[in-house]
Structure 1
Amino acid sequence: MLLTGLLTGCSEPTTTTDARRVFRYNQPESLTSLDPAFARNQANTWAVTQLYNGLVELDDSLKPGPSLAHRYNISPDGRRYTFTLRPDVFFHDSEVFPSGRGRRVTAQDFVYSFRRLLDGATASPGGWIFRGKVLEQADGEPSDTCFVAVNDSTLRIHLKEPFIPFLGILTMPYAYVVPREAVQKYGKDFREHPVGTGPFLFKEWDEGNAIIYHRNPGYWKKDAQGQRLPYLDAVQISFIQDRKTEFLTFMQGKLDFLSGIRSGSRDLIMYPDGTVREDFRGKFRLQKVPYLNTEYLGMQQDLKNLRGDNAETGRALQDKRVRQALNYALNKPEFLAYFLNNVGKPGSSGFVPASLPSFDQQKVPGYTYQPDKARQLLRAAGYGPGKPLRLRLSTVAETKEFCEYYQKKWAEVGVQVEIDVNQGAAHGELIDNGRAAFFTRSWLGDYPDAENYLALFYSPNFAPVGPNKTHFKSPAYDRLYEQAKLEQDAARRYALYQQMDRIVVEECPVVAVYYDEVVRLTQNNVQGLTPNPMNQLVLERVRKN
Structure 2
Amino acid sequence: MKRLLRSAALAACLLATAVAGVAQTDGPAPKTLRYAFPIAETSFDPAAITDLYSRTVVSGIFEAPLEFAFLARPVRMRPNTAAAMPEVSADFRSFTFRIKPGIYFADDPAFKGRKRELVAEDYVYSIKRHYDPRWKSGNLYLLEGAKLLGLSELRARAIKERKPFDYDRPVEGLRTLDRYTFQVKLADPSPRFLYNFADSSFTGALAREVVEFYGDRIGEHPVGTGPFKLGAWKRSSRIELDRNPGYRSVLYDEEAPAGDERLQAVAREFKGRRLPLVDRVQISIIEEPQPRWLSFLNEEQDIAENVPAEFAGVAFPNNELAPNLAKRGVLMLRYPRSDVAVSYFGMEHPVVGGYEPHKVALRRAIALAIDVEREIRLVRGGQAIPAQSPIGPEAWGYDPAYKSEMGDYDPARAKALLDMHGWIDRDGDGWRDQPDGSPLVLEYSTQPDQQSRKLNELWKKNMDAIGIRIVFKTAKWPEQLKASRAGKLMMWGVGWSAGQPDGDTFLALGYGPNRGQSNHARFDLPAFNALYEKQSLLPDGPQRQEAMDAAKKLMIAYMPYKVHVHRIWTDLAHPWVGGYSRNIFVREFWKYVDIDPAAQPRRGS
TM range, smaller chain = 0.7 to 0.9
Aligned length: 522
Measured in 2, the distance between the counterparts of 1:250 and 1:110 equals 39
Measured in 2, the distance between the counterparts of 1:117 and 1:59 equals 26
CA 362–94 in structure 1, closer or farther in 2 if over 3 Å, else same: same
Letter paired with 1:294: V
CA 300–263 in structure 1, closer or farther in 2 if over 3 Å, else same: same
CA 125–497 in structure 1, closer or farther in 2 if over 3 Å, else same: closer
Measured in 2, the distance between the counterparts of 1:295 and 1:138 equals 31
- Among residues 316, 337, 350, which one is paired with 1:291 in the alignment? 337
Contact conserved, 1:299 with 1:510, CA < 8 A, in 2? yes
Larger mean Cα displacement after TM superposition, 390-399 or 448-457: 390-399
1:18 is matched with 29
2:4 is matched with none
Matched, 1:227 2:276: no
Letter paired with 1:531: R
- CA shift at 1:298, angstroms? 3.0
Letter paired with 2:546: A
DSSP-derived class of the 1:482 partner: helix
Percent sequence identity over matched residues? 20
Alignment of 1:318-467 (within 5 A): 318=358, 320-347=360-387, 349-363=388-402, 365=404, 366-374=406-414, 377=417, 381=421, 389=432, 391-395=440-444, 396-398=446-448, 399-412=452-465, 414-423=466-475, 439-445=492-498, 447-461=500-514, 463=515, 465-467=516-518
Contact conserved, 1:518 with 1:533, CA < 8 A, in 2? no
Q: TM-score, normalised by structure 1?
A: 0.80
Q: TM-score, normalised by structure 2?
A: 0.73
- Among residues 156, 172, 179, which one is paired with 2:207 in the alignment? 179
- Among residues 90, 93, 109, which one is paired with 2:122 in the alignment? 109
Contact conserved, 1:477 with 1:503, CA < 8 A, in 2? yes
1:199 is matched with 227
Letter paired with 1:135: L
Measured in 2, the distance between the counterparts of 1:541 and 1:104 equals 25
- CA shift at 1:47, angstroms? 2.7
- CA shift at 1:149, angstroms? 1.6
Contact conserved, 1:38 with 1:174, CA < 8 A, in 2? no
Alignment of 1:457-536 (within 5 A): 457-461=510-514, 463=515, 465-534=516-585, 536=587
DSSP-derived class of the 1:289 partner: strand
CA 469–206 in structure 1, closer or farther in 2 if over 3 Å, else same: closer
- CA shift at 1:175, angstroms? 1.3
- CA shift at 1:342, angstroms? 1.2
Contact conserved, 2:67 with 2:80, CA < 8 A, in 1? yes
Contact conserved, 1:213 with 1:234, CA < 8 A, in 2? yes
Structure ID, larger Rg: 2
Query: What are the superposed Cα offsets for residues 368-408 of structure 1, whole Å, 9 maximum, x if unpaired?
Result: 33455545555655678999745533222543432332343
Q: Which runs of 5+ in 2 are unaligned?
A: 1-19, 157-168, 254-267, 434-439, 597-605
Contact conserved, 1:314 with 1:437, CA < 8 A, in 2? no
Larger mean Cα displacement after TM superposition, 516-525 or 91-100: 91-100
- CA shift at 1:53, angstroms? 1.2
Query: What are the superposed Cα offsets for residues 425-468 of structure 1, whole Å, 9 maximum, x if unpaired?
Result: 7766776666765554443445543222212323344x4x4544
Contact conserved, 2:95 with 2:184, CA < 8 A, in 1? yes
Larger mean Cα displacement after TM superposition, 107-116 or 78-87: 107-116
DSSP-derived class of the 2:86 partner: strand
CA 179–384 in structure 1, closer or farther in 2 if over 3 Å, else same: closer
- CA shift at 1:280, angstroms? 3.5
- Among residues 62, 82, 90, which one is paired with 1:76 in the alignment? 90
Letter paired with 1:53: E
CA 282–342 in structure 1, closer or farther in 2 if over 3 Å, else same: farther
Measured in 1, the distance between the counterparts of 2:378 and 2:36 equals 28
Larger mean Cα displacement after TM superposition, 283-292 or 70-79: 283-292
- CA shift at 1:484, angstroms? 1.1
DSSP-derived class of the 2:393 partner: coil
CA 293–116 in structure 1, closer or farther in 2 if over 3 Å, else same: same
1:4 is matched with none
Measured in 2, the distance between the counterparts of 1:320 and 1:501 equals 16
Larger mean Cα displacement after TM superposition, 532-541 or 438-447: 438-447
Larger mean Cα displacement after TM superposition, 34-43 or 52-61: 34-43
RMSD: 4.0
CA 106–481 in structure 1, closer or farther in 2 if over 3 Å, else same: same
Alignment of 1:19-38 (within 5 A): 21-27=31-37, 29-31=39-41, 34-38=44-48
2:178 is matched with 151
Letter paired with 1:107: A
- CA shift at 1:148, angstroms? 1.4
